Amino acid sequence: MTDYTPTARDIRGPSPLIAIANEPPPRLIVDPPLPEPLAQGRVFIQYRTENLRVLPVFGNGALDVSPRIGHIHITVDDAPWHFVDASGETIILVGLEPGRHKVLIELADPTHKVITSETVHFTLPDPQQ
């Protein structure tokens, strides 16, 4: 039996120091909210991207960066506005009323053009019950 240790490239992806020719399309993978915080009225949504690094870099000049960079837009319950996150960390939402909710998570390029999206549906429990 051979022990396999993943390489840094296996875990972290291509080096950000070398341009990638013919980059595959970006992907957004979103998990359902973590159950423990949800039971306490807090929403923690983990996500990850493939073929795009989430960084706080914006504008037309950033469109030519390779490997590709971008950020996410987050819209809660069809609000007419969204907020932007470029941390790449878990999304945390607090202060929502008990009941059904949905969160639209959009992967966007440095000019805010949406590349792809995922929607998460969940029910926030009523702490009075």
Average pLDDT taken over every residue of the chain: 92
Which CATH number among 3.40.50.920, 3.90.79.10, 2.60.40.10, 3.40.1000.10 corresponds to the domain 26-124? 2.60.40.10
Tens-place pLDDT, residues 31-65: 999 999 999 999 999 999 999 999 999 999 988 88
Residue type, 21: A
Q: Kindly give the pairing relationship between strand 114-124 and strand 69-76.
A: unpaired
At which residue do the structure tokens 């999206």 appear? 117
Q: Quote the pLDDT of residue 8.
A: 87
Instruction: Choose the weakest-confidence range: 12-16, 58-62, 115-119.
Output: 12-16
Q: Quote the pLDDT of residue 42.
A: 96
DSSP code of residue 84: E
Per-domain boundaries in the chain? 26-124
Higher pLDDT, 18 or 92: 92
Q: Quote the pLDDT of residue 123.
A: 96
Mean pLDDT of 116-123: 98
Q: Is 41 exposed, middle or buried (0-12, 13-18, 19+ CB in 10 A)?
A: middle
Q: Structure tokens of 50? A: 């493939």
Instruction: Choose the weakest-confidence range: 11-15, 43-47, 74-78, 100-104.
Output: 11-15
Higher pLDDT, 111 or 16: 111
Instruction: Give the dihedral of Cα atoms 111, 113, 118, 120; nearest 10 deg.
Output: 60
Strand partners, 103: 76, 120
Q: Structure tokens of 40? A: 């306490």
Q: Quote the pLDDT of residue 129.
A: 62
